[in-house]
C-alpha cells in the first residue's frame, strides 16, 4: 500500500463557507501533475473505486495523518468524493468535537489554515511507465486506476522531505563559504550521514530502462509510501539494506542540519 501527500487546496471549512458545521471540502489529488516520485495521476483513476465505495454503503475514512492505530485519529468520514477537471475533490464530515477532542483540534487547524495538506492511502490497480524524451528519468509512471483506503489532512507530506533538506543544506553551505564555523559535533554528524549515504549507493543497483518498463507494467502493492522501492515488496537483501541505510542517512542528516 502507498500514500500520497499534496499541498491540497482547502476549498471550504464550516458553516461560514457554505458547508454544514464541521464539514470540510478539499482538492486532494491533482490530475496531470508529476510529483516528486515521478508519478502522474490521470483523469478516471479514481472513478471505478469511487463507485465501489458508493455501492458498498461504507464511507471512506477521514483519518489524521494516516494514524490508523489511534481510534481518535479517525476524525471523520467522507460524505462525497468526485472527480472534477482538476482532480479528486472530497467533502468530509468531522466527528463530534465534544466526544472526540482530536477531531475538534483537526477542525480548528483546517479552519485556521495551519494545516493545508492532505494525503491518501491507496493501492495501484493499473499503472504503466510512459516514455518521454529529455525527461530526468526517461519518463514517468502513470497511475490509471487506484484503490483508495482512506484520506485525511496532514501537516507536511513526505514527498517534500527531500526538498526541505536540500534547502537547509544549501543554506548551510552558503554559511560555511561565507566564513561560518561548523562545530565538531555537526561535522561528525555530517560525516556519519555521508558514510550512510555512501552505503545506500553501494547497496543499490540502478534500474535499467528495460527493467523499469517491465516493472511499471505490473499492478503495484506492498508496504511502503510512494517511492519506487515501495513497488517491490520482495526486494532482494541488497535493496532492503539500502532502504535501512537510507533511513539512517536521512535521520542523521536531518539531525545534523537541524542542529547546524
pLDDT for res 254: 54
pLDDT for res 238: 41
Phi, psi of 70 (to 5 degrees): -105, 115
Sign of the Cα torsion 125, 221, 58, 23 reads negative
Q: Dihedral angle at the C-alpha atoms of 179, 185, 188, 194, nearest 10 degrees?
A: -70
In the DSSP assignment, the letter for residue 230 is G
Q: Strands 23-30, 87-94: parallel, antiparallel or unpaired by DSSP?
A: antiparallel
Per-residue pLDDT of the chain (260 residues; tens, 9 = 90+): 787 766 656 666 777 677 888 888 888 888 998 887 788 999 999 999 999 999 999 999 999 988 999 999 999 999 999 999 999 999 999 999 999 999 999 999 988 888 888 889 999 999 999 998 888 888 999 999 999 999 999 887 544 443 434 444 555 565 665 666 667 766 776 777 777 677 766 666 565 545 544 544 444 443 333 334 344 444 444 434 444 555 555 555 555 555 55
Angle made by CA atoms 80, 83, 89, in degrees to the nearest 5: 55
The structure's pTM equals 0.60
C-alpha cell at 114: 495551519
pLDDT for res 198: 75
In the DSSP assignment, the letter for residue 206 is P
For the residues of 67-126, what is the DSSP string, one character each?
-TT-GGGEEEEEEEEEE-SSEEEEEEEEPPTTT-HHHHHHHHHHHTTS--EEEEEEEEEE
Amino acid at each position: 500500500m502507498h500514500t500520497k501527500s499534496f499541498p491540497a487546496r482547502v476549498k471550504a471549512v464550516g458553516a461560514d463557507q457554505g458547508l454544514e458545521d464541521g464539514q470540510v471540502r478539499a482538492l486532494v489529488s491533482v490530475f496531470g501533475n508529476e510529483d516528486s516520485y515521478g508519478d502522474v495521476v490521470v483523469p478516471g483513476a479514481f472513478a471505478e473505486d469511487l463507485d465501489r465505495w458508493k455501492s458498498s454503503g461504507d464511507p471512506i475514512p477521514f483519518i489524521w495523518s494516516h494514524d490508523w492505530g489511534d481510534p481518535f485519529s479517525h476524525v471523520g468520514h467522507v460524505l462525497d468524493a468526485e472527480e472534477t477537471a482538476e482532480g479528486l475533490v472530497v467533502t468530509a464530515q468531522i466527528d463530534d468535537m465534544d466526544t472526540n477532542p482530536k477531531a475538534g483540534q483537526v477542525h480548528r487547524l483546517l479552519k485556521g489554515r495551519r494545516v493545508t495538506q492532505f494525503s491518501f492511502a491507496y493501492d495501484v490497480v493499473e499503472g504503466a511507465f510512459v516514455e518521454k524524451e529529455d525527461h530526468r528519468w526517461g519518463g514517468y509512471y502513470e497511475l490509471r486506476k487506484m484503490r483508495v483506503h482512506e484520506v485525511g489532512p496532514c501537516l507536511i507530506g513526505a514527498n517534500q522531505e527531500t526538498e526541505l533538506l536540500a534547502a537547509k543544506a544549501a543554506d548551510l553551505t552558503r554559511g560555511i563559504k561565507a566564513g561560518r564555523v561548523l562545530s565538531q559535533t555537526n561535522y561528525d554528524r555530517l560525516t556519519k550521514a555521508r558514510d550512510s549515504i555512501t552505503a545506500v549507493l553501494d547497496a543499490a543497483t540502478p534500474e535499467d530502462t528495460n527493467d523499469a518498463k517491465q516493472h511499471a507494467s505490473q499492478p503495484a502493492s506492498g508496504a511502503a509510501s510512494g517511492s519506487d522501492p515501495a513497488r517491490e515488496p520482495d526486494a532482494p537483501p541488497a535493496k532492503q539494506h539500502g532502504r535501512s541505510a537510507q533511513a539512517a542517512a536521512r535521520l542523521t542528516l536531518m539531525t545534523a542540519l537541524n542542529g547546524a
